[in-house]
Amino acid sequence: MNEPTQPSTATDKLAQAAAIGNRIKAEINKAFIGQSQVVEQILLALFAGGHVLIEGVPGLGKTLLVRALAKTFDGSFTRIQFTPDLMPSDVTGHAMYDLKSDQFRIRKGPVFTNLLLADEINRAPAKTQAALLECMQEAQVTIEGQALTLPTPFMTLATQNPIEQEGTYPLPEAQLDRFLLKVLISYPNEAEEKAMLTAVTSGQVGDTLNVSAVNTLIKPATITTLQQIVSTLIVDERVSEYAVRITRKTREWPGIAMGAGPRGGLALVRTARAKALLAGRDFVTPDDIKNVALPALRHRVSLAPELEIEGHHPDDILTALLEKIEAPRK
């Protein structure tokens, strides 16, 4: 499909941006069956210029999803399997001595890509996890004192298994806070699982990830343009106040031991802007804030120990909190 032409007005520009977003979703669904909410949340994070922590058991298609997304905008994709013996230089790169030139040269690591899939990130020690912090926050890597800029757009999609905790290193709060969203991916429903089984076993050998049906729609530069459009969408003062009230309420809500910091409110507004873009609007509504609150805040709050023992989930507490905070309607 050809690259979109330059629109003539702001309204045309917004409509075309929304159309691109929805076409990307449709293309991803050709390879990644079901989980429409997961696909949308990944796109919201991409358009908002953020990173995503994906939590789900193995075998649910997380790598396939990221490969399909990369193909839609002709982006580069790298997957790193995090293990206990993974070193920071295995992620970022290192300086090496070149015998031919008699000089040191920089060998860039797999982080130099558009979409980085950090698989089972909690299996690597804290030192290696920390190697991603500069990448995620500054979009650069420093090797031997030299700052190297990462490609744009750059997005980290980290996965972790919520069940198997043996041999894992839990992500510290400072690193969790770097992720714009925490997306939960669950088992597909029966109809989706049947469709998946048919698609994967029809004329395909082994477990290869097939994204041949996915078309490339745009170039990476267009994603950067979409991110710039998202950053300019209108957020009314009352909507901003609503986001702040939600964030601050998490710090005093019964059952929450530690609430969301200021990045929580920023994540609400940034993600809500991306939500408005997909809807073709140039302004954010209170419902946009409310609809993105769970993925934006669930990893930024810690439940009281007694609630964790009883099996409560942050989503349950956040849902109850959202019901009690009145949204602006006029």
Point out the domain boundary residue: 182, 206, 232: 232
3-state secondary structure of 54: strand
Return the residue matching tokens 């950053």: 231
Residue 169, in any domain of the structure: yes
pLDDT digits (tens, 9 = 90+) for 220-254: 999 999 999 999 999 999 999 999 999 999 999 99
The Cα–Cα gap between 131 and 305 comes to 30
246 plus 288 within the same structural domain: yes
Q: Which residues of the chain have pLDDT under 70?
A: 1-9, 164-167, 201-209, 330
**Cα distance between residue 254 and residue 90, in whole Å:** 43
Shared-domain flag, residues 36 and 67: yes
Give bridge partners of residue 107 from the DSSP assignment: 94
Q: Are residues 262 and 225 in the same domain?
A: no
Same domain, 180 and 266: no
Q: Tens digits of per-residue pLDDT, 261-318?
A: 999 999 999 999 999 999 999 999 999 999 999 999 999 999 988 888 888 899 999 9
Q: Which residue has the tokens 């702001």?
A: 10
Residues in the chain: 330
- Domain-terminating residue out of 201, 232, 263: 232
Instruction: Find the CATH number of the domain harbouring 153.
Output: 3.40.50.300
**DSSP track, 107-131:** EE-TTSSSEEEEETGGGS-HHHHHH
In terms of Cα–Cα distance, which of 167, 215, 180 is closest to 50?
180
Structural domain boundaries enclosing 192: 1-83+114-124+148-232
| Same domain? 266 vs 301 | yes
Domain count, the chain: 2
Give yes or no: residues 172 and 290 share one domain: no
Q: Are residues 223 and 239 in the same domain?
A: no
CATH of the domain at 242: 1.10.8.80
Out of 178, 206, 232, pick the residue that ends a domain.
232
Q: So what's the pLDDT on residue 2? A: 47
Residues 223 and 266 in one domain: no
